[in-house]
Amino acid sequence: MPTTPDSPPRPLRWGILGCARITRRGLAPGILASQWGTVFAMASRDVATARSWAEEFGAVKAYGDYRALLDDPEVDAVYIPLPNELHRPWVLAAADAGKHVLCEKPLALDAVEAAAMVEHGRSRGVLLMEAFMWRHQPRTAALLTLVREGGLGRLRLIRSSFSFPIEPGDWRLDPRRGGGALWDVGCYGVNTCRLFAGAEPVAVRALRHPHPSGVDLTLTAELAFPGGLIGLVDCSFEAPFRCEYELVGTSGSIRVPDAYLPPALPTALRFAAGSDAEGAGPEALSFDGANQYARMIDAFACSVAAGTLVPPAEDGLAQMQVLDRVKAAALDVAD
d(CA 110, CA 129): 16
How far are the Cα atoms of 181, 213, 259, 316 from residue 170, in angstroms, in the given order? 12, 12, 24, 25
Give CA–CA dist 165/121, Å, rounded. 35
Tell me which residue of 235, 131, 139 sits closest to 190, measured CA to CA.
235
In angstroms, how far is CA 257 from the centroid of its own chain? 17
In angstroms, what CA-CA distances link 244 with 11, 142, 254, 268, 292?
Answer: 33, 16, 11, 10, 16
The set of residues, in sequence order, having a beta carbon less than 8 Å from that of 89 and lying 6+ positions away, is none
Identity of the amino acid at 97: A
Helix (H, G, I), strand (E, B) or coil at 149: coil
Count of helices and strands (H, E) across the chain = 11, 15
Is residue 105 part of the annotated active site? The answer reads: yes
Check if the beta carbon of residue 126 is closer than 8 Å to that of residue 101.
yes
Selecting among 61, 99, 105, 327, the annotated active-site residue is 105
User: Which residues are identified as catalytic?
Assistant: 105
